[in-house]
Amino acid sequence: MTALNRFPELGVPDRAALDALLDSQWAGVLSCAVDGEPLAVPMLYARDGDRILLHGSTGAGALRHVATGASAVLTVFTLDALVVAPTTFESSVNYRSATVRGRLDTVEDRERALDLFSDEIIPGRIDEVRRPSRRELAATEVLSLPIAEGSWLLKVASGWPATPEEAGADPAVWSGVVPVRRVLDQPVPAPWASDLAVPPSVRSLLDQRGTTDGPGPD
């Protein structure tokens, strides 16, 4: 662990790190300005190369106000640790956040988008279920936001808190970090699926993303 990044707002110009953050999260907040007022909607997203696909369902309200061509910002945030400093003033959190700014566009290839969203939630699930119907594709609304050079900002706060000397604090006061982590618990079958085996897609996701001995059968 390195020293605390004291100026996370300056940003980290590392596209691979941006992609890694975006790919590790499921949801973000889409912000737009409508008639001079801010509009904010939490949304699922999936990165598709140099663009981000945003998922909604037609008429669901979330996207109703957001026209194609609207200027938007997607914010993705993850908290990595609580930073326990030797003073309250220096106490903070370690985090990574990304803002991607651009104009929204509609996505015509909804079938591909639906596959990407499915893979974003449960990789490999598309091989276990039927293909989307024409009616389902018609009811799926997908917007895209480009990831263009100069249009995104990755902020990273990491490392240790200020030292007792830097903080002007008692050196006998403990300080350090408390890592924060998101884990998946054991899957819980729907009532009608309790006799069925947990499918490979779900099992391999749990193998990869940190299962714990939390609640749930199996």
Q: Which of residues 98-117 bind a second copy (CB under 8 A)?
A: 99, 114-115, 117
Site for a second copy in 133-152 (CB under 8 A): 133, 136, 139-140
CA–CA separation, 153 vs 144, rounded Å? 18
Cα 120 from chain centroid?
Answer: 10
Cα–Cα distances in angstroms (integers) from residue 13 to residues 6, 19, 76, 112, 145, in the given order: 16, 12, 16, 30, 19
Taking contact as CB under 8 A, which single stretch among the options 13-21, 46-54, 59-67, 141-149 is the one that binds a second copy? 59-67
Of residues 65-94, those binding a second copy (CB under 8 A): 71-73, 75, 77, 79, 82-84, 86-89, 91-93
* Residues between 152 and 171 with contacts to a second copy, criterion CB under 8 A: 160-161, 163-164, 168-171
| Residue 188 lies near a second copy (rule: CB under 8 A) | yes
Q: 17, 19, 95, 103: which one contacts a second copy (CB under 8 A)?
A: 95
Q: Which is nearer to a second copy, 50 or 166 (CB)?
A: 166
Q: 138: part of which helix (H) or strand (E)?
A: helix 134-138
Counting contacts by CB under 8 A, is residue 2 touching a second copy?
no
- Of the candidates 15, 106, 183, 204, which one interacts with a second copy according to CB under 8 A? 183
With CB under 8 A as the contact rule, the residue among 38, 134, 149, 150 that binds a second copy is 38
Three-class SS state of 115: helix
Nearer to a second copy among residue 144 and residue 201 (C-beta): 201
Contact partners, residue 54, CB within 8 Å, separation at least 6: 30, 43, 44, 45, 63, 74, 104, 142, 143, 144, 145
User: Does 192 engage in binding with a second copy (CB under 8 A)?
Assistant: yes
Six token digits for residue 3: 């020293």
Phi and psi angles of residue 159, each rounded to the nearest 5 degrees, phi first? 95, -165
- Based on the shown chain and the rule CB under 8 A, indicate whether residue 125 belongs to the binding site for a second copy: yes
Q: Is residue 9 a contact point for a second copy (CB under 8 A)?
A: yes
With a CB cutoff of 8 Å and minimum separation 6, the contacts of 37 are none
